[in-house]
Structure 1
Amino acid sequence: MGEHEPPTSSVGRVFVSFAALMLVVVVAMGVLLSTSFRAGAEQRALTAARSQAQMIGSNRIEPALKGQPATQHLGTDVIATLDQLSGRLKDDGRILRLRLRSPNGQVVFSDDGTGFGDAADGEALEAAEGHVEAELTRLNADDDRGALGVRAVEVYQPLADGALGVLEIYLPYAPIAAEVQAGVGRLYRDLSIGLGVLYLVLVGLALTTTRRLRQSATRNAYLAEHDPLTELANRRGFALAIERVTADPARPGGAVAVIDLDRFKEVNDSLGHHNGDALLLALSVRLQAAVGPHDLVARLGGDEFGIVLPRITDDAAAHRVLRQVLHELSAPLTLSGIALEPEASAGFVLIGEDGDDAATLLRRADIAMYAAKVRSAGVMRFERAQDHYDPERLAMVGELGRAMAQDELVLHFQPKVALDSGEVTGVEALLRWQHPRHGLLFPDRFLPLAEQTGLIDPLTDWVLDRALRQLTALGLPPQARVSVNVSARNLGQQPFADRVLDALGRNGIAAERLVLEITETAAFADLERASAVLRSLDEAGIAISLDDFGQGHTSIGHLSTLHLSELKIDRAFVGDMLTDLAHGAIVRSLVELAHNLGLTVVAEGVEDDDTREALRDLGCDEGQGYGIGRPVPAAQLTEWLSRNRHEPAAR
């Protein structure tokens, strides 16, 4: 189909071609049937001629011969009988010529005096052998001396199986031709009616089919650029709208925004997909009402929407419009009797300043949206620092999914010890990627990418399952626990708690032996949703640890809402606490705060014995760092545990 060709034009051409083809087929069928009829009529004529010749031969000629073979010396009575018979048959118009041949094929009688002295032909000799021969011909066709006569049916009838001779008889073809012509006329009439009706039926079916194809082609062309649920533009239609704006030299600027709903999956999971669809429909109506007549709203997939704002010229205007859009979206609504207050995050780019092509603008708007969601910022504009999609990282996205299936990912384990006794209290599972080209990669090379592409869920599930599977084989003390890090996206989904419990059951590990470590950023990206997930995990007996505490902006009042069991002091404070008085004071305060809240305190970044002893003197419960044990593969950890089992307080 041409770029500007309507989809129905090709359908019209298909119909015309089909109608012409059907006409050719119908005409061909008529010709074939009439030819077949004519051939059948001629075969019937030959059969009738054989019967007539056989009757004349057996009833008239054979009795006249009185059992004697036909020879050159026929008796006068036989000749008279033959003359009388042929004359009567000619007068009746039943024959054109009658000859009698001897058993060796020579003409011994001819009613018109022809054929005497001619060599015996093949048909006569065949008949003398007892075979009836018949064919359509013309009188005198075998005589080069005379002009051709009328059409006739020539029959060679053996007499007494050829013993008495051969009867050669020519029957008129005119009655047969008249019958054939009449039959062909009737056939043509009936064929014309029948095939005409058939053609009309076929054309009618083709018209109906064409109409449906045209409707289907129109619908498909519409669906190619529109979402079937909301009737909004889809991702392709959205990209085309961006291209139209960027291609317009008179445009004043323009903005592209991506909006993602918060907690939409919970609506689907708890209220069913039909209510999820109803929510999307209601919000799509709100989006269209919230923008201007020159703006375009699209559903990009799932719970993600896009807006093209061709008249936006600056950052402030885009923020103002999108904040109003989010405000309109957040108005309460009721689904299945349940009141909901939708929330969303929006990211945007300015055309020209942040990109000039649809693919770049859409990708960067999506990055900004994700940043807004992580930071609970509502609306954010794209910043180049957010863009992690360089070519090498893009290639790594595809490789990461394969790495899980091909066991390129490995876990290293770093021990944690009780600072007062030196006993090993647990290990932290740390992910590594044994890349076939780049060697051993640390998480900072690929985890941010997994966060932005949706791979973080299967990646976390893989780490969790592998850590629990290896726990019993590490040789840890019976009560030692394994710690696994989880991300903001993990905490944003209620089913994550179910997946954790499934992993514990699948590996036969008690919930009390698992610690899930969360960062302040992950916990407070969506506090309400994270709190609900953490509550489910805590009630199941799983310990929750707040990692890197002190680096974020956590409100002390919110600590109690996270259902924590453990607080880890960030290495930035622990590493120089002996030389930096401020950091030393912060560590002391955090230990006291955690204990007052009933939490276990773990210090990260313990690099030497002096720091370890100072932390123990402050009452810090556990320590972790290179001064205690480096992250190592499972086999090396088992060796480390074996070496230190008899000297638990040793370094």
Structure 2
Amino acid sequence: MVVLDRAGFIAALDISVTQARGAGDHLGLLLIDLSNLRLINHRHGYGIGDLLLAEAGRQLLATSKLPDTVFRIGGHTFAFILPQLNTPAFIALAMNRVQRLLDGALYIDEEILPVQLRIGLAVNLHGKHSSLVTLARAEASLAQVKQGNALEIDAMIGEDDDAREDTAFEQHFSEALYDNAFDLHFQPKVDLRTGRVCSAEALLRWHLPGHGAVSPERVVQLAEASGQTYELTRWVVNRALRAMREWRDTVALPVAVNIPAGLVNSPDLANMLSGALSIWGVEPSMLTLEVTEGAVIEDKEAGFNNLLHLRELGMGLSIDDFGTGYSSLSYFEHIPATEIKIDQSFVRRILGDSRDRALVGIIVDIAHLFDFAVVAEGVEDNQTLEYLRDLGCDIVQGYLYSRPLPEGELLAWLRQCDGRPGIAAN
């Protein structure tokens, strides 16, 4: 069976790209995903799933016949490096061949769910692009396919201005992560019951020379496309905890960090967080993890178990963007959260839409029934604040009190208001 070896794959891809660049060859990369393997495991048992993974690996190795070209890089994802492509279009033939081969080899019988194969691809012409950029393009291609979009292979083989710009951004992102060129700003959260700042949310910032500010959403996309979500999250967590350690003689302020959806089910997440807390000497109760509602709903069983473990370690858990997913009352009953964060789209419409106002009130009441605190983000005016107070909201954050601030400005702001921020007259 092809063992899980992402590090070995990256090393092999680096070598293949270097060789392609030196010889002027083209390089192809296929990402083959057994997308419904988790459902097969749940329905038929892990023995069947392991059998399918082993057979997929055997078939790909037999097809390649070359060393260091087939790797398992995720729970149900394989990478297939195609070196020395004389014609870039050959990657389409390779993809079709792999699809037909695995469709046949992975069929067991009519009682077993058929495997749903999803294949993404990338072409690196003359080895011009780095291994990370090549991987990023293949992952973006796979994401397209998973969303039901058709692959535009001809566009992948050619190069246009948008592709060149994407490549440049991907390279800049990898360099920024390596060079520690990001920054964190912190937005205060105010407890409506006491009027005091009770915590802050850490928000990623990146200023790219020659371009300006890059949106956090774009940074997350680049991390996902390049397979560096874990590394970026680790940087954010450690940077936030380092700041908290530096502040503790001045202020003991709990901080929330955002955890990307793709890491919620990761078995490595708990070890990374525990290690960072130990390094910086911060109590777990001082750290809250914000995860989106959709990230938990995507795989309730695995997501709930992982979050439950993090709660047992003492960290807080906040369900971000609440109200935008498809949760039910059973979701409230079982989720191991400490707070619910109402999506700012509801907060911004609360003055003009009675249905949104009623919906927020229902969320607050149910959340309190299950002992969750309720946070409203995006609060920008006094009237919205008073509506939220009347509805029973516990905590608010937004420009009414403060924009996200660099560390030094946050500490100065806290000293100036003595933890009780005033609000502007509207």
Tell me the TM-score normalized by structure 1: 0.48
1:346 and 2:118 are equivalent in the alignment: yes
Question: Equivalent of 1:631, from 404, 408, 418?
Answer: 404
Look up the match of 2:373: 600
Gapped regions of structure 1 (runs ≥ 5): 1-228, 230-234, 241-255, 265-275, 290-294, 333-340
Contact 1:346/1:372 (<8 A) preserved: yes
Q: What does residue range 128-207 of structure 1 map to in structure 2 within 5 Å?
A: none
Deviation at 1:591, TM superposition (A): 0.9
Relative distance call for 1:470 and 1:312 in structure 2 (3 A) is closer
Q: What does residue range 454-603 of structure 1 map to in structure 2 within 5 Å?
A: 454-474=227-247, 480-603=253-376
Q: Distance in 2 between matches of 1:515 and 1:411?
A: 16
Deviation at 1:389, TM superposition (A): 7.2
Contact 1:547/1:569 (<8 A) preserved: yes
Deviation at 1:435, TM superposition (A): 1.7
Deviation at 1:319, TM superposition (A): 9.9
Relative distance call for 1:404 and 1:348 in structure 2 (3 A) is closer
Question: Equivalent of 2:202, from 419, 424, 429?
Answer: 429
Q: Distance in 2 between matches of 1:343 and 1:476?
A: 56
Q: Distance in 1 between matches of 2:51 and 2:108?
A: 17
Q: Distance in 2 between matches of 1:538 and 1:288?
A: 42
Q: Distance in 2 between matches of 1:451 and 1:573?
A: 28
Cα-to-partner distance string for 1:313-357 (whole Å, 9 max, x where unaligned): 9xxxx999988877659999xxxxxxxx998761358xxxx99x9
Look up the match of 2:56: 283
Supply the AA of the counterpart residue of 1:627.
L
Q: Distance in 2 between matches of 1:280 and 1:331?
A: 18
Look up the match of 1:145: none
Supply the AA of the counterpart residue of 1:429.
A
Deviation at 1:437, TM superposition (A): 2.0
Q: Distance in 2 between matches of 1:458 and 1:329?
A: 41
Look up the match of 1:445: 218
Supply the AA of the counterpart residue of 1:390.
A
Cα-to-partner distance string for 1:167-191 (whole Å, 9 max, x where unaligned): xxxxxxxxxxxxxxxxxxxxxxxxx
Contact 1:322/1:346 (<8 A) preserved: no
Q: Distance in 2 between matches of 1:475 and 1:628?
A: 23
State the SS of the aligned residue for 1:563. coil
Relative distance call for 1:345 and 1:558 in structure 2 (3 A) is farther
Q: Distance in 1 between matches of 2:268 and 2:419?
A: 43
State the SS of the aligned residue for 2:349. coil
Q: Rg bigger for which structure?
A: 1
Contact 2:61/2:70 (<8 A) preserved: no
Q: What does residue range 274-313 of structure 1 map to in structure 2 within 5 Å?
A: 281-285=54-58, 300-303=70-73, 304-305=78-79
* Larger RCO, structures 1/2 (Cα 8 Å, 6+ apart): 2
State the SS of the aligned residue for 2:118. strand
Cα-to-partner distance string for 1:473-497 (whole Å, 9 max, x where unaligned): 4479966310101112222420111
Supply the AA of the counterpart residue of 1:421.
T
Cα-to-partner distance string for 1:6-36 (whole Å, 9 max, x where unaligned): xxxxxxxxxxxxxxxxxxxxxxxxxxxxxxx
Gapped regions of structure 2 (runs ≥ 5): 1-8, 10-14, 21-28, 38-48, 83-90, 128-132
State the SS of the aligned residue for 1:612. helix
Deviation at 1:397, TM superposition (A): 2.0
Supply the AA of the counterpart residue of 2:118.
A
Relative distance call for 1:546 and 1:371 in structure 2 (3 A) is farther
State the SS of the aligned residue for 2:384. helix
Look up the match of 2:6: none
Q: What does residue range 332-371 of structure 1 map to in structure 2 within 5 Å?
A: 346-347=118-119, 366-371=139-144
Deviation at 1:399, TM superposition (A): 2.2
Q: Distance in 1 between matches of 2:116 and 2:242?
A: 38
Q: Distance in 1 between matches of 2:274 and 2:368?
A: 28
Deviation at 1:635, TM superposition (A): 0.7
1:395 and 2:165 are equivalent in the alignment: no
Contact 2:344/2:377 (<8 A) preserved: yes
Identity of paired residues, percent? Answer: 34
Relative distance call for 1:639 and 1:444 in structure 2 (3 A) is same
- RMSD between superposed Cα atoms in Å: 4.5
Relative distance call for 1:608 and 1:391 in structure 2 (3 A) is same
Q: Distance in 1 between matches of 2:100 and 2:230?
A: 34
State the SS of the aligned residue for 1:468. helix
State the SS of the aligned residue for 2:309. helix
Relative distance call for 1:481 and 1:361 in structure 2 (3 A) is closer
Tell me the TM-score normalized by structure 2: 0.70
Cα-to-partner distance string for 1:571-600 (whole Å, 9 max, x where unaligned): 101012011112111111111121122211
Contact 1:412/1:429 (<8 A) preserved: yes
